[in-house]
Structure 1
Amino acid sequence: MSSAIIFYPSSFLPLALVELSLLACFLAISRLVYYRMKQLPLRKIPGPPSTSFLTGNLLQLFDPSALPFYDKLSKTYGGVIKINAMLGDTQLLISDPKACTSILLKEQDTFEESPWFIENGRHAFGPCLFSTTGAHHRRQRKQLNPVFSIKNMRALIPIFQNVTHQLQDSMRTMLDKGAQEIDIVEWLGRLALELVAQGGLGHTFDSLDPTAHEHEFAGAIKEYIPTMSALYVWRELLPLVSYLPPKLLRFVATSLPWPTLHRLIDVLDTMHANAQKIFDKKMAILEKGSEAAESQVGEGKDIISTLLKANMAAPEDEKMTDDEIVAQMNILLLAGTDTTSSALCRVLHLLSQHQDVQDRLRKEIAAGQSRTDGAELDYDGLVGLPYLDAICRETLRLFPPVPVITRTSGYRPIFLTVKADCGSHCRCRSDICIPLLKPITTIGGDSLASLYIPGNTDVFVNILGLNRDTSIWGPDAAEWKPERWLQPLPESVEGARIPGIYANTLTFLGGGRACIGFKFSQLEMKVALSQLIQAFRFSLPKAEVTWRFGGILTPSIAGSSLIRPTMPLKVESIRP
């Protein structure tokens, strides 16, 4: 019998497509309703009233002026707060330390990064620490952890000092006619980028000269966070289309009449192209030997050069691919620029408000230099400045640059049924119950000592709320007091067992996805502050400075409609 190929009449095809589309919509809606039904117990948890069925409380949470809203939520509802999200979704804002320990440490395989964050990292940067999960993520961290060792950090001190000297020289040029107001955000942003460029990549983007033109890579780095923030409310849509082939997804994105999305694509293209050029150049230099490496920026002591050498010596099954390393280069620049710039801006703003603290810090730095006959402070000298350390700790406690992060419990895709061991789209288990340090009272009056969280529930870890919790830090928790770190902390701080990796806070998170570069960031801050405070006096400007929420906290002028961060400070040169 001969085989036959059956051709369906063309008139049947549109009908078949309609039926398949209706079936797909029915399955998606059914699963969505199923997850909403599982979330019914969460609706008994107290929280703010929804402002819209479409967006819930999300526009309030991510409004540029949202910081007072977060403080109000913590004071009103405590450590576990119900948040209304898109289309009736229920999410949680959590600052209870025991619950945070479960989310970030004990049950971290269940509470992974949210799907939109993973998919954004994968499509934007490739296989980087932002976008990998499970064993893949652990393998990358195993390779990267030694790169951020104390030994390697010590070698970066001269690089950071030279870059900061460049900024000092430029600022003195601007102040040749006396004290004036300077937009310190621009300069600290340029400084932070150049610190991570030279210390992280062994590359330079900016001479920090007042007349220098901005490098396209630098401009792209600065634009990424504001552009992403403008799309933040729609982040939940990304996992729904992430299964499309990358080329098709890009075609769809560029075809939509969405200027902000188009700008994001341009920014990412610029970042990737420049990172690839730097990677190719560094590989060519490494192949020429140690003498060629020592002739480059940073003399081959930068983070990526160290990683490349370690990667070449690693076993084959542990090596990173070229794409992985290029992806790490992008996120190193991205994560290390705006956060460090934000923290430095906040410290200088606070020192401008508290001249007595600024004077005391300046005296401590001078005393430290006097012990080394006026030479630059090395690693041990910087670590040996307790008041500088106290200022950094207190600023990062009270004003974490990233005040909230998200996790998703036991994620399962809505459109597809996937096995539990399929990789980055699944978690070890779905529904979970986690303990609380302080029981909560539901709307119905029941007391809960533990919290049931169904699968596919987004959880906001409230870093700001935990860092300012008066039951942990005392009644003065909302006050900036560096002196608190020069004496024993309250027993309640130790008793809370906060799961962070830095100063009993969640500023740099904790667990398997904690900030891998926090030592690098701390070193940048201390080198920059120790040199700038010795050379200049910073005072408040005529205009009032306020701080905006946008993924990362940024300063601006009160009442200004400008999106670009800005913070003028009066600067006076006090040392030639």
Structure 2
Amino acid sequence: MTFSVVQPLVILGLSWACWRILRPRLFPSALRNLPGPDGGSWLSGHLNKMMNTTAWDYHLKTLRQFGATSLVKGVFGSDDIYTFDPKALHHILVKDHNVIWDETDSFVAGNKTFFGEGIFTSLGERHRRQRKMLNPVFSINHMREMVLIFYEVAHKVEQAFSNKVANGPQEIDVMDWMTRLALELIGQSGLGYTFDELTETSQPHRYAQAAKQLIPSQTENTVVIQTILPYITNIGTPKFRRWIVDHFPSKGVKRMRDIVDVLHETSVEIYESKLTAIKKGDEALAAQIGKGKDIISILLKANMKAEDDDKLSEEELLGQVTSLTFAATDTTSGALTRTFHLLAQHKDAQAKVREEIRNARKANGGQDIDYDTLVALPYLDAICRETLRLARQDGILPLMTPVRGKDGKMITELEVPKGTIAHISILNANTNPDLWGPDAGEWKPERWLNPLPQALIDARIPGVYSHLYLLSTSFTYSPTDHAFSFIRMTFLGGGRSCIYNVLIHYTSSGFKFSQLEMKVVLVLMLEKFEFSLSDKNIYWQMTGITTPNLDATSTLPTLPLIVGKAK
């Protein structure tokens, strides 16, 4: 490429960057009347403070200092909204979603890079079409059939732990084993594929190692993902974009590249083997793990029969494999690990749920607890809910809690300019003492065995699971081009609720796929083993899905606990 070609591109790029920086200063929005923190860099605003592994205190400080809604600085000094106001959340996630609010370019570009053309990267009609194809495979009847597979897989880890502690308590990396277990659970039940024998001597699949590192690596590279990625994902050919990544001067970016390579190569292998079996007929499919009843087999067969308008492309089908595998592995392993760590700190709760589990097994004739009994165990249910509570044309955004503006007047609704990004604080939504009560920051499963505070019920937080949020993404405010960014919602709500963990609809007949996995694993492990803290300090990193580690900077999650036989 000659200098004469490069020069205008450089001038154009610098001009664009200058305009992005100067525009909010030359044309300030009405949002400037909102209170908010000072400072922030010219490139990433407050994002580095909001999106890093040690950001817990920053979010809690923002709650205490500015209340439920405030102004923060985004990329290139943009005026962004930071909110956990329930009424605002309802409008963003449910009432005006896909009409006014949608995901940010950085959210879509990042997920497209990591997971391909799957459920995480589709918008509008395309997203609806993909969900329509996926919803039936998460039905209650289908999950009833999955319970036997869950038990079969979880018993392998139970046996491995039994062997390890046969001669006394041992320190075990629970995070490592829960990642391997979660991957094998989705492998057999979701993909008709086995990743790991789950024995003491078997080697973890390279996918498990890659999956554990992706979210921490994303957080480490927040600025790159927010500022650069949206603008290069559509430049040139895939080969050219790969060249850019290979030559990008960042070890963190190259680490993410290697992780994504593992995810993609594994998905291609699974997809091609499944497609080959389907083409050979039912006999070949039945011979595979899952016997053709796994999620991807059902999806592929349904897609073959679908009308042309509803059919998913090969690229979209491959994206579903990558998306569902990662979502199932990382969220379930993270939730299980967090639960074991909390129970190691609360031995009274651990003993109480163990007694409940043992009584249930005894009532079931000593056999594994059946589906209906499992999902109805009250204290186990309360533990799951409490752990998950603590585990993104111009328009108007109404607020439930008025905010005092810098001019001294009370603000009850915001005039939101097109292009505004709204960051939703899930941490504060899930621990707001005005809604949850003065003990909002404490882990107390018993809160779910009593009536919830009336303030919480009246707030009508638009989550689809127990008034909770638990996911991390970014959205854009947009009849044409607006942006909205989540920072930590349990399973979200509305049209972007997590399909793997809760689906759009909540049915009272039982928990969804991941809750069922969690309960099967907890029942088997807590009945047999006692979990205690080791002498190592554990730091929970504030990443896309909170991850445990020995310090705040490592990108390889770990949780060593002392495991022994339960009395």
TM-score (norm 1): 0.88
* Alpha-carbon contact 1:362-1:533 (below 8 Å) kept: yes
Partner of residue 253 from structure 1, selected from 245, 248, 253: 245
**Aligned equivalents of 2:234, 2:554: Cα separation in 1:** 37
**Aligned equivalents of 1:320, 1:19: Cα separation in 2:** 40
In the superposition, relative to structure 1, how do residues 17 and 194 fare at CA in structure 2: closer, same or farther (>3 Å)? closer
Residue-pair matches, total: 533
Match of 1:68 in 2: 57
**Aligned equivalents of 1:305, 1:540: Cα separation in 2:** 41
Displacement after TM superposition at 1:28 (Å)? 5.9
1:533-552 Cα offsets, whole Å, 9 max, x none, are 01101112122322111222
Match of 1:44 in 2: 33
Mean Cα deviation higher: 171-180 or 57-66? 57-66
Match of 1:132 in 2: 122
- 1:444 and 2:433 are equivalent in the alignment: no
Match of 1:363 in 2: 355
- AA of the residue aligned to 1:108: H
Displacement after TM superposition at 1:18 (Å)? 4.1
Match of 1:515 in 2: 498
Displacement after TM superposition at 1:184 (Å)? 1.0
- 1:478 and 2:441 are equivalent in the alignment: yes
Displacement after TM superposition at 1:391 (Å)? 0.7
* Structure index of larger Rg: 1
1:453-512 Cα offsets, whole Å, 9 max, x none, are 222222211111111111111121111111111122122122101111101112100011
In the superposition, relative to structure 1, how do residues 36 and 520 fare at CA in structure 2: closer, same or farther (>3 Å)? farther
Partner of residue 163 from structure 2, selected from 162, 165, 173: 173
* Alpha-carbon contact 2:534-2:561 (below 8 Å) kept: yes
Displacement after TM superposition at 1:563 (Å)? 3.5
1:152-171 Cα offsets, whole Å, 9 max, x none, are 11111111111110101111
Match of 2:472 in 1: none
Match of 2:423 in 1: 460
Displacement after TM superposition at 1:435 (Å)? 0.5
**Aligned equivalents of 1:487, 1:17: Cα separation in 2:** 66
- 1:272 and 2:264 are equivalent in the alignment: yes
Match of 1:545 in 2: 538
Displacement after TM superposition at 1:40 (Å)? 3.3
In the superposition, relative to structure 1, how do residues 160 and 438 fare at CA in structure 2: closer, same or farther (>3 Å)? same
Displacement after TM superposition at 1:370 (Å)? 2.0
**Aligned equivalents of 1:71, 1:360: Cα separation in 2:** 31
Structure-to-structure mapping, 1:198-237, within 5 angstroms: 198-235=188-225, 236-237=227-228
Mean Cα deviation higher: 34-43 or 522-531? 34-43
Match of 2:483 in 1: none
Match of 2:66 in 1: 77
**Aligned equivalents of 2:141, 2:388: Cα separation in 1:** 24
Displacement after TM superposition at 1:522 (Å)? 0.8
- AA of the residue aligned to 1:57: H
- AA of the residue aligned to 1:317: D
Mean Cα deviation higher: 140-149 or 236-245? 236-245
Displacement after TM superposition at 1:214 (Å)? 2.6
* Alpha-carbon contact 2:88-2:400 (below 8 Å) kept: yes
In the superposition, relative to structure 1, how do residues 483 and 37 fare at CA in structure 2: closer, same or farther (>3 Å)? farther
**Aligned equivalents of 2:208, 2:552: Cα separation in 1:** 24
Report the aligned-residue RMSD: 2.0
1:431-458 Cα offsets, whole Å, 9 max, x none, are 2211001111112212110112222222
- 1:529 and 2:516 are equivalent in the alignment: no
- 1:119 and 2:82 are equivalent in the alignment: no
In the superposition, relative to structure 1, how do residues 542 and 379 fare at CA in structure 2: closer, same or farther (>3 Å)? same
Mean Cα deviation higher: 100-109 or 252-261? 252-261
Partner of residue 500 from structure 1, selected from 463, 470, 476: 463
**Aligned equivalents of 1:310, 1:433: Cα separation in 2:** 41
- AA of the residue aligned to 2:140: I
Match of 2:507 in 1: none
Displacement after TM superposition at 1:514 (Å)? 0.6
Task: State the identity as a percent.
Answer: 41
Displacement after TM superposition at 1:383 (Å)? 1.2
Structure-to-structure mapping, 1:333-348, within 5 angstroms: 333-348=325-340
1:303-362 Cα offsets, whole Å, 9 max, x none, are 111212222222121111221111111111211212211111111111111111111111
- AA of the residue aligned to 1:475: P
* Alpha-carbon contact 2:53-2:552 (below 8 Å) kept: no
Match of 1:489 in 2: 452
Match of 2:303 in 1: 311
In the superposition, relative to structure 1, how do residues 543 and 458 fare at CA in structure 2: closer, same or farther (>3 Å)? same
In the superposition, relative to structure 1, how do residues 336 and 37 fare at CA in structure 2: closer, same or farther (>3 Å)? farther
In the superposition, relative to structure 1, how do residues 360 and 39 fare at CA in structure 2: closer, same or farther (>3 Å)? farther
List alignment gaps of at least 5 residues for structure 2: 470-489, 502-511
- AA of the residue aligned to 1:486: L
List alignment gaps of at least 5 residues for structure 1: 1-12, 400-405, 407-428
Match of 1:240 in 2: 231
- 1:182 and 2:172 are equivalent in the alignment: yes
Partner of residue 549 from structure 2, selected from 556, 564, 576: 556
* Alpha-carbon contact 2:357-2:523 (below 8 Å) kept: yes
In the superposition, relative to structure 1, how do residues 38 and 480 fare at CA in structure 2: closer, same or farther (>3 Å)? farther
In the superposition, relative to structure 1, how do residues 306 and 15 fare at CA in structure 2: closer, same or farther (>3 Å)? closer
Match of 1:90 in 2: 79
In the superposition, relative to structure 1, how do residues 392 and 24 fare at CA in structure 2: closer, same or farther (>3 Å)? closer
**Aligned equivalents of 1:86, 1:313: Cα separation in 2:** 45
Displacement after TM superposition at 1:113 (Å)? 1.3
Structure-to-structure mapping, 1:314-325, within 5 angstroms: 314-325=306-317
* Alpha-carbon contact 2:53-2:219 (below 8 Å) kept: no
* Alpha-carbon contact 1:469-1:477 (below 8 Å) kept: yes
In the superposition, relative to structure 1, how do residues 265 and 27 fare at CA in structure 2: closer, same or farther (>3 Å)? closer
* Alpha-carbon contact 1:433-1:450 (below 8 Å) kept: yes
* Alpha-carbon contact 1:221-1:333 (below 8 Å) kept: no
* Alpha-carbon contact 1:129-1:328 (below 8 Å) kept: yes
Displacement after TM superposition at 1:17 (Å)? 6.6
**Aligned equivalents of 1:520, 1:398: Cα separation in 2:** 20
- 1:351 and 2:351 are equivalent in the alignment: no
- AA of the residue aligned to 2:448: W
* SS class of match (2:235): coil
In the superposition, relative to structure 1, how do residues 140 and 572 fare at CA in structure 2: closer, same or farther (>3 Å)? same
* Alpha-carbon contact 1:500-1:510 (below 8 Å) kept: yes
Match of 2:369 in 1: 377
- AA of the residue aligned to 2:220: A
- AA of the residue aligned to 1:203: Y
* SS class of match (1:213): coil
* SS class of match (2:171): strand
* SS class of match (1:318): coil
* Alpha-carbon contact 1:125-1:327 (below 8 Å) kept: yes
Displacement after TM superposition at 1:566 (Å)? 1.8
**Aligned equivalents of 1:485, 1:248: Cα separation in 2:** 53
**Aligned equivalents of 1:38, 1:495: Cα separation in 2:** 38
Displacement after TM superposition at 1:192 (Å)? 1.4
